[in-house]
Structure 1
Amino acid sequence: MKIIFLNTWGGKAYEPLMAFLSEHSASADFFCLQEVFDSPSSRTVSWGGRADILADFRSTLPEHEGYFSPAVQNFDGDEYMDFPLIHGNAIFAKKDITIASHGDMLIAGDGWPDSGDIQAFPHKMQYVSFQKEGKMYTLAHLHGTPVPSSKRDTPARIAQSQRVADFLAAEKGEKILGGDFNLLPDTESIRMIERAGMRNLITEYGITTTRNALSYGQYPEADRQYFADYAFVSSGVGVAHFAAPQMEISDHLPLVLECT
């Protein structure tokens, strides 16, 4: 079973991103994609992401069923847009996999947009449950709160990790979790997921960064951060391969997981 986690950067690096998805479409059972926009408009958002990128993902992955998890309307993460826009996450599952259930849950933020507070911007975890080779799985991914940009612990991030840990504890069978956590590896927020019985594959496989030059170029060298994205598995999930290949399809690297 092959799973790819990726913050897509809203499709800003469009051509290489779509080529990557197409290349892996036959072999990947699941794509778990963060920072996905949906809109009837083909415009770009304030920082260059594509408003209608979800439609392009669907057309590029015709053998996968797409599940979209909307988080907020008419806001691109930086600015309000003057056209219809939905910002969220998506899971694309191979159509030969029977999905028993799917959904999402709020893990950070509330009161948006009435409060106007960027810290209240809602962030969700999306999940699907399915059976494969007689074993039940829950696959979840998230786009964690980016505030503050230090990626250090805050009460909101601790609460976010507690919600994730509580969700995992309530699910039956094996669990696989990934995505853009917006956290550094040495935070208590990450340790909470590990203590919930999840193997941290970033640490276990010695991954040295989940970012690339498209990310580094946005910040002075002293402010560069080398981690944001993680993949975790429960103890009963066998891992045949895990990597964060260095490529520029987004300002994040894809996490490629092959399970047995």
Structure 2
Amino acid sequence: MTESMPVRCPVCRRDHFYAAPVYPCACGAPLAPPLLRAARPEPITHRTWTDDWVTVRCPACERQDQWPQPELGCPCGTVLRIPVRPVSAPAGPAHGGSRDGRVPSHIPLPRTAVTSRPTFRPVTIRTARDAVTAAALYLKWLGFRDVVQPEARPLSGIDLRGLGVVAQVDPTTRPATLRAVECLWLNGLSSSAVSVLFSLAGYADDARARADQLGIPLFVMDLTGCPQPVNASADELIATGA
């Protein structure tokens, strides 16, 4: 059963109930990172590749590998790092542990390794158009090609299109809505494309829940123009790229 715990955002004091994502171990057993209830979640202000992964041991086969660091995106725009109980002892070499520098076999690797993917260079957001530009640059950084933005926003609400991707950018001061998520999903479905949503003000609770159900990557952006993942689908998109 998935482990869950109450989480309070230290910025807006909103209460959440967080359930750790479940992934299949190489042995086939479902496995979720064990949450550390005694530790307080901290807002993510700076990302590194090391901080985005945690070591987890499978209780079924004792295999020890690297798994995505659990995170929670609050509608206020804050992304929280959820603490995980540390592994008490390293696994032996027979289990393929990550201490020897090998990569996890059960999680898709980035098609372009982080060391070879160029550093993302954001643009400062001063206008709504800047927000769309920042999102376009980020999609290109992820590997999507021919990403374009229309001169005028279409009635569909789609701000960006590329090969295999459609994206919407919400530059308002209100959290993105459930309707925005579902409309974006329908546009992606009709185009056989990945749907990606960017927001400056975070997401309403029902919008976040629906995006998780539909597998839509959600990102929040601050005025520096650097998107941050809000849900597991966004984490996966960053890991695998286009």
Sort the TM-score into its range (normalised by shorter chain): 0.3 to 0.5
Comparing both structures, which one devotes a greater share of its residues to strand?
1
Normalising to structure 1: TM-score of the pair?
A: 0.31
